[in-house]
């Protein structure tokens, strides 16, 4: 058993990671300030004998004074356009000062460290699919830059701690991920389409829908994270599903499975919305023996079932801010 601290433990991915780590027998310390996390995700684990929780803003510090940590996993950050555009300064700070605070905690405990980066570091890519050695095509001062540049900096400071302090680090670049426990108002394409279909509303596609995305189920992502914890590799590793769909194709898939006959309408394209996104997972296959296993239709059915059980959400905004991501 190891003792693992997870920042962003109340978030979508963070909560699934906590669940997996507890299931594997580890002690887990969760940290979240609920800027974009959900209290209900923390409540899932509060009765577990190997789970403790600290409510804190990691940008201001990590008030952990417990037993020696073996891992610090830094997953804290708003991750969807409406959230990071609503909190741009906080998003930049959690990527910068929050990452450094998490690194200092790991360094002080002699723990290993992992940072959750993102496919957004590739921006609107001019190389397709995107391998880890592609430097990206990012607008450094656009509406998405608070998130893109925060993650790029988080990678840079993580590598600086590895090179300068000898810290044992990992970097994952997460591509579009979906599944239960996504916030109903997160504005990402999966939640938008599924909730619109469940309400019997038209599905809104931003632009002509030709932009592409690759969707991985959250269980596949968590498996990749756990496997990367088990090897020594310090460079970034893509974790995503290379099966590529246009946003319009995905809208039709959701409509046909949830609300056949619903209309699909087109809204103005969102600013800086990447036109293509697909991971090159050659490194993950070779290094981790990992590839996504859950087919989109199977994962979508589980996600729809979870959304139905959670009840009707409030409707999404239709002003172009909640773009496909």
Mean pLDDT of 127-156: 95
Mean pLDDT of 159-165: 98
Model pLDDT, residue 80 = 85
pLDDT in tens, 187-211: 888 999 999 999 999 999 999 999 9
Model pLDDT, residue 313 = 53
Mean pLDDT of 138-156: 95
**Is residue 147 annotated as a catalytic residue, yes or no?**
yes
Lowest mean pLDDT among 34-38, 262-266, 272-276: 272-276
The full set of domain ranges for the chain reads 3-176+216-239
Select which of 84, 122, 147, 178 is catalytic.
147
Q: Which helix (H) or strand (E) holds 77?
A: none
Q: Are strands 3-7 and 51-55 parallel, antiparallel or unpaired?
A: unpaired
Q: Which of 39, 34, 146 is nearest to 82 (CA)?
A: 146
- φ, ψ of residue 25 in degrees (nearest 5): 100, 10
Model pLDDT, residue 296 = 92
Is a pLDDT exceeding 70 seen at residue 315? no
Is a pLDDT exceeding 70 seen at residue 121? yes
325 vs 190 pLDDT, higher one:
190
The dihedral formed by the CA atoms of 289, 284, 164 and 123, expressed in degrees to the nearest 10: -170
CA distances from 289 to 281, 282, 285 (A): 10, 10, 5
Q: Which of 253, 250, 189, 213 is nearest to 128 (CA)?
A: 213
Is a pLDDT exceeding 80 seen at residue 316? no
| DSSP for residue 32 | E
Q: How confident is the model at residue 269 (pLDDT cuts 50, 70, 90)?
A: confident
Model pLDDT, residue 312 = 63
The CATH homologous superfamily for domain 3-176+216-239 is: NAD(P)-binding Rossmann-like Domain (3.40.50.720)
CA distances from 23 to 18, 26, 27, 189, 226 (A): 8, 7, 10, 30, 12
The model carries a pTM of 0.93
Model pLDDT, residue 318 = 35
Is a pLDDT exceeding 90 seen at residue 270? no
Is a pLDDT exceeding 90 seen at residue 89? yes
């Amino acid at each position: 058993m190891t003792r693992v601290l997870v920042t962003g433990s109340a978030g979508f991915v963070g909560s699934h990671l906590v669940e997996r780590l507890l299931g594997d027998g580890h002690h887990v310390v969760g940290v979240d300030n609920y800027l974009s996390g959900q209290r209900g995700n923390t409540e899932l684990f509060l009765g577990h004998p190997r789970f403790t929780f600290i409510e804190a803003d990691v940008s201001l510090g990590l008030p952990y004074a417990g037993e020696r940590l073996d891992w610090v996993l830094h997953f804290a950050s708003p991750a969807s356009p409406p959230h990071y555009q609503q909190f741009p300064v906080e998003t930049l700070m959690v990527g910068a000062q929050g990452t450094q605070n998490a690194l200092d905690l790991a360094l002080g405990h002699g723990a290993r460290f992992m940072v959750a980066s993102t496919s957004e570091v590739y921006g609107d890519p001019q190389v397709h699919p995107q391998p880890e050695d592609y430097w990206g095509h990012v607008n450094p001062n656009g509406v998405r830059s608070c998130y893109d540049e925060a993650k790029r900096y988080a990678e840079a400071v993580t590598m600086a701690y590895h090179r300068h302090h000898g810290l044992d680090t990992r970097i994952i670049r997460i591509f579009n991920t979906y599944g239960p426990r996504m916030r109903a108002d997160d504005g990402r394409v999966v939640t938008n389409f599924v909730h619109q279909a469940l309400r019997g509303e038209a599905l809104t596609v931003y632009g002509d829908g030709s932009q592409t995305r690759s969707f991985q189920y959250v269980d596949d992502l968590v498996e990749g994270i756990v496997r990367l914890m088990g090897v020594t590799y310090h460079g970034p590793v893509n974790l995503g599903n290379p099966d590529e769909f246009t946003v319009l194709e995905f809208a039709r898939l959701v409509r046909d499975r949830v609300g056949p006959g619903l209309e699909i309408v087109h809204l103005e394209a969102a600013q800086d919305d990447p036109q293509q996104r697909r991971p090159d997972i050659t490194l993950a296959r070779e290094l981790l023996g990992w590839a996504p296993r859950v087919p989109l239709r199977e994962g979508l059915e589980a996600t729809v079932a979870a959304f139905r059980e959670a009840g009707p959400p409030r409707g999404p905004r239709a002003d172009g801010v909640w773009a496909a991501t």
